[in-house]
Amino acid sequence: MAFEQLGRKVVLGIASNKAVTNVVTKHGMRMGAKRFIAGESLEQAVEMVKQLNKEGLLVTLDHVGESVSTKDEAIQATDEAIRIFEMIEQHQLQSNVSVKLTQLGLSIDHDFCYQNMDRIVAAAKERNNFVRIDIEDSPVVDITIDIFKRVLAKYGKEHVGLVVQSYLYRTEKDVEGLGKLGASLRIVKGAYKEPKEVAFPLKRDVDANYNKIVALHLKNGHYTAVATHDEKIIQETKRFVKENNISNDQFEFQMLYGVRNGLQRELVKEGYKVRVYTPYGKHWYPYFSRRIAERPANGLFILKSLFKS
């Protein structure tokens, strides 16, 4: 197994430990999680979005939280996503919204989840905005694609898009199929712990597949969000669009709030569209632990603070 995959498994394993969750959730914001989280409330996040917009950065707002276990929680998450669209309009922010289906009740009842997603896309359309469905771990990929296709057929690609992961073997085929529907796709490498039966274990294969999928979707003429902090992939995308005369309106770069801030701003200066995925909310811990797993150095300051206190 590649070293980086082993590291991610270990970190995600520790992160799911209950005691670790409790300590970090209690002290994490103070200890530095706010580097990656724009605040615990939407109102705090709005102020951060204003700053980012001033610097020419577009935003996608994400109310963090995943896998709810009651219908009430799923309805609350749905209402909150709709409230984000209202705030975007009220404050005239350059932002859209990202959601996760497990937050909208996917593990409770598929049709109930679809109804919630339908309400969110309806709100996006009403305000001429856009919502992107994040992709989660491999067992829910099929159902996520199904629900996406239903809302896409009803509301159109201007109002709803999906994410795909280059670490999954299946993704190239998925992208071909979704391309036939004209879908707007965000391409990511993938952030979950996946077995080698479904995902490339080696980084070099994940990266090669990433470039392949981006090229495929762009070449087929579809809107592509290249969501990575990997400079080699960003360079390759720049080269590919130039060589194939693909306009800057057909793609955007996306990065996470607090990651590679300098690079985000450099790309804006070069004239590219750049969108910052900006999470906020009280339940930030699972999101935060995936950021640590991607780069364990991000977690060192947490450990240091724990030992100091």
Residues in binding site: 100, 165, 189-191, 203, 228-229, 290-291
Using rule CB under 6 A, residue 298 touches ligand FDA = yes
Residues numbered 171-190 forming contacts with ligand FDA, rule: CB under 6 A: 188-190
Q: How far is the CB of 199 from ligand FDA (least distance, A)?
A: 10
Using rule CB under 6 A, residue 227 touches ligand FDA = yes
Residues numbered 1-30 forming contacts with ligand FDA, rule: CB under 6 A: none
Nearer to ligand FDA among residue 129 and residue 171 (C-beta): 171
Of 96, 116, 165, 278, which lies in the binding site for ligand FDA, with binding defined by CB under 6 A? 165
Using rule CB under 6 A, residue 192 touches ligand FDA = yes
Of 134, 174, 194, 252, which lies in the binding site for ligand FDA, with binding defined by CB under 6 A? 134
Nearer to ligand FDA among residue 70 and residue 130 (C-beta): 130
Rounded Cα distance, 84 and 202, in Å: 38
Q: How far is the CB of 53 from ligand FDA (least distance, A)?
A: 16
Using rule CB under 6 A, residue 191 touches ligand FDA = yes
Residues contacting residue 151 through CB under 8 Å, at least 6 positions apart: 114, 117, 118, 121, 160
Q: How far is the CB of 189 from ligand FDA (least distance, A)?
A: 4
Q: How far is the CB of 136 from ligand FDA (least distance, A)?
A: 7
Using rule CB under 6 A, residue 256 touches ligand FDA = yes
Nearer to ligand FDA among residue 175 and residue 191 (C-beta): 191
Applying CB under 6 A, the residues found at the interface with ligand FDA are 134-135, 163, 165, 188-192, 227-230, 254-256, 259-260, 277, 291, 294-295, 298
